[in-house]
């Protein structure tokens, strides 16, 4: 009995609903049906479940991006004791110049300065660089003189260049963009490869300008998208100045390679590496007042380092290899200090250093200054 009543009630309700619907619809009927507005809620990480839409199919579908899932994270590593030094331009900054160490020919830039005005940009001035490793990762530390890697006017990029076969042509560039935080993140890290081996042009140790290769042209990792979502990471460590710390998989670099770091607030274009092949020396300018093309012009707001060897003892002929040995002026009080700063025999020997043939030059006898 209760069941029959219930069915009867439902029938009555259905009939009433039909009347109400007709009553509501009929006054609004028009010869052209009006599309029903649909509010589309789009989320960035997952496909949305939308009601059937009367809109024509020209409406753009929401991007169906798969969320990035990381399975391995870098850890906190102690700063390694092994340290390499880049030129510190802080002391000569008031004079709007770099002290030394910029070599257009070698694609080695000491240009943490604005174009032409040569105002100092400490957030781009690399002063030390180091590397260490654990079972999964290489960790590279770049120490900079500034205090803001998120400097909004510069929007700087910090990078690590890897040369796996030691020929001076960079093979990978790990390239990180703001915002940087003190937590490991892969979100703003990219890894570029040079698959056609034209970084550096025909000669990695000389300018080939004007050269139109495509530099680091292949993006193999982009914020976690790529074959390995955990390939490369970055964070920064405020230290009074700051450290940019990179972590990248050992599988990317192998067990022996050459590496250097770069801070770029100027051109910021991996496809134009190396910059000394894109601009003549005159176009690039120079940060040293003793040079004819002072001040810096087309190649500006950039600092990079020489290349260090990892996992092998360099023979001295590796292109772009850091001069050896290179020691900090602050920790040496006697004897030859930072011989790379002397560019003539008299000042080299006066400082207690030795003026010897530079083994990196095969075609010509070139002297450079080293520790005796």
* Part in contact with Ca ion (CB under 5 A); list of ranges 45-53, 187-195, 252-260, 363-371: 187-195
Task: Identify which of residues 103 and 203 has a Cβ nearer to Ca ion in the complex.
Answer: 203
Task: Identify which of residues 161 and 230 has a Cβ nearer to Ca ion in the complex.
Answer: 161
How many other C-beta atoms can be found within 10 angstroms of the C-beta atom of residue 35? 10
295 binds Ca ion (CB under 5 A): no
148 binds Ca ion (CB under 5 A): no
Tokens encoding 358: 């530079």
Contacts of 186 (CB under 8 A, 6+ apart): 68, 70, 223, 224, 229, 230, 231, 232, 233, 234
Task: Identify which of residues 87 and 353 has a Cβ nearer to Ca ion in the complex.
Answer: 87
Task: Identify which of residues 187 and 217 has a Cβ nearer to Ca ion in the complex.
Answer: 217
167 binds Ca ion (CB under 5 A): yes
318 binds Ca ion (CB under 5 A): no
* Part in contact with Ca ion (CB under 5 A); list of ranges 30-38, 71-79, 228-236, 275-283: 275-283
Q: Yes or no: say if 324 and 338 are a contact pair by the CB < 8 Å rule.
A: no
- How far apart CA 204 and CA 344 sit, in angstroms, is 25
Out of 74, 84, 85, 86, point to the residue binding Ca ion (CB under 5 A).
86
143 binds Ca ion (CB under 5 A): no
Task: Identify which of residues 198 and 264 has a Cβ nearer to Ca ion in the complex.
Answer: 198
What's the min distance (Å) between Cβ of 194 and Ca ion?
4
Tokens encoding 319: 């292109």
What's the min distance (Å) between Cβ of 167 and Ca ion?
4
What's the min distance (Å) between Cβ of 135 and Ca ion?
25
272 binds Ca ion (CB under 5 A): no
- How far apart CA 116 and CA 119 sit, in angstroms, is 8
200 binds Ca ion (CB under 5 A): yes
Assign 21 to helix, strand or coil: helix
Assign 62 to helix, strand or coil: coil
Is beta strand 354-357 parallel, antiparallel or unpaired with respect to 84-85?
A: unpaired
- How far apart CA 346 and CA 363 sit, in angstroms, is 24
Name the β-bridge partners of 259: 162, 308
Task: For 194-327, list the strands marked E by DSSP.
Answer: 218-222, 225-226, 232-239, 241-249, 257-264, 302-304, 308-310
* Part in contact with Ca ion (CB under 5 A); list of ranges 51-59, 217-225, 249-257, 321-329: 217-225
171 binds Ca ion (CB under 5 A): yes
299 binds Ca ion (CB under 5 A): no
163 binds Ca ion (CB under 5 A): yes
Number of residues that bind Ca ion (CB under 5 A): 20
What's the min distance (Å) between Cβ of 192 and Ca ion?
9
Query: Helices H, strands E: what count in the chain?
Result: 4, 16
Out of 125, 161, 230, 318, point to the residue binding Ca ion (CB under 5 A).
125
- State how far the alpha carbon of 188 is from the alpha carbons of 235, 248, 258, 289, in Å: 10, 14, 24, 37
Task: Identify which of residues 201 and 340 has a Cβ nearer to Ca ion in the complex.
Answer: 201
Task: Identify which of residues 169 and 235 has a Cβ nearer to Ca ion in the complex.
Answer: 169
From 139, 141, 152, 143, select the one nearest 179 (Cα to Cα). Answer: 152
Task: For 250-340, list the strands marked E by DSSP.
Answer: 257-264, 302-304, 308-310
Task: Identify which of residues 106 and 186 has a Cβ nearer to Ca ion in the complex.
Answer: 106
What's the min distance (Å) between Cβ of 252 and Ca ion?
14
Q: Yes or no: say if 312 and 256 are a contact pair by the CB < 8 Å rule.
A: yes
194 binds Ca ion (CB under 5 A): yes
Considering only residues 9 through 68, tell me which ones interact with Ca ion, judged by CB under 5 A.
none
Binding-site ranges for Ca ion (CB under 5 A):
86-87, 125-126, 163, 165, 167, 169, 171, 194, 196, 198, 200-201, 203, 208, 214, 217, 277, 303
């Amino acid at each position: 009995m209760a069941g029959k009543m219930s069915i009867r009630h439902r029938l009555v309700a259905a009939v009433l609903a039909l009347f109400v619907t007709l009553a509501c619809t009929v006054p609004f009927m028009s010869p052209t049906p009006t599309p029903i507005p649909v509010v589309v809620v789009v989320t960035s990480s997952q496909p949305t479940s939308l009601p059937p839409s009367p809109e024509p199919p020209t409406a753009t579908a929401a991007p169906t991006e798969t969320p990035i899932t990381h399975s391995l994270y870098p850890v906190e590593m102690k700063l390694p004791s092994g340290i390499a030094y880049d030129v510190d331009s802080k002391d000569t900054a008031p004079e709007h110049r770099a002290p030394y160490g910029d070599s257009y020919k070698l694609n080695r830039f000491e240009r943490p300065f604005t174009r032409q005005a040569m105002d100092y940009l400490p957030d781009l001035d690399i002063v030390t660089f180091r590397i260490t490793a654990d079972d999964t990762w290489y960790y590279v530390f770049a120490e900079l003189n500034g205090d803001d890697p998120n400097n909004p006017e510069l929007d700087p990029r910090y990078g690590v260049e890897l040369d796996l076969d030691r020929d001076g042509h960079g093979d990978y560039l790990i390239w990180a963009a703001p915002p940087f935080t003190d937590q490991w993140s892969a979100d703003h890290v990219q890894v570029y490869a040079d698959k056609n081996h034209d970084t550096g042009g025909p000669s990695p140790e000389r300018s080939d300008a004007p050269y139109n290769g495509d530099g680091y042209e292949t993006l193999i990792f982009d914020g976690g998208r790529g074959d390995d979502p955990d390939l490369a990471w970055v964070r920064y460590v405020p230290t009074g100045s700051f450290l940019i710390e990179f972590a990248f998989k050992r599988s990317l670099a192998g067990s022996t390679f050459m590496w250097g770091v770069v801070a770029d607030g100027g051109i910021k274009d991996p496809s134009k590496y190396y910059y000394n092949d894109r601009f003549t020396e005159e176009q690039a300018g120079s940060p040293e007042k003793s040079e004819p093309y002072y001040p810096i012009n087309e190649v500006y707001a950039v600092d990079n380092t020489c290349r260090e060897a990892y996992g092998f003892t360099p023979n001295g002929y590796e292109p772009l290899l850091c001069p050896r040995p290179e020691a900090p002026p602050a920790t040496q009080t006697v004897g030859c200090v930072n011989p790379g700063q002397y560019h003539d025999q008299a000042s080299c020997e006066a400082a207690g250093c030795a003026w010897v043939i530079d083994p990196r030059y095969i075609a010509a006898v070139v002297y450079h200054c080293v520790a005796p």
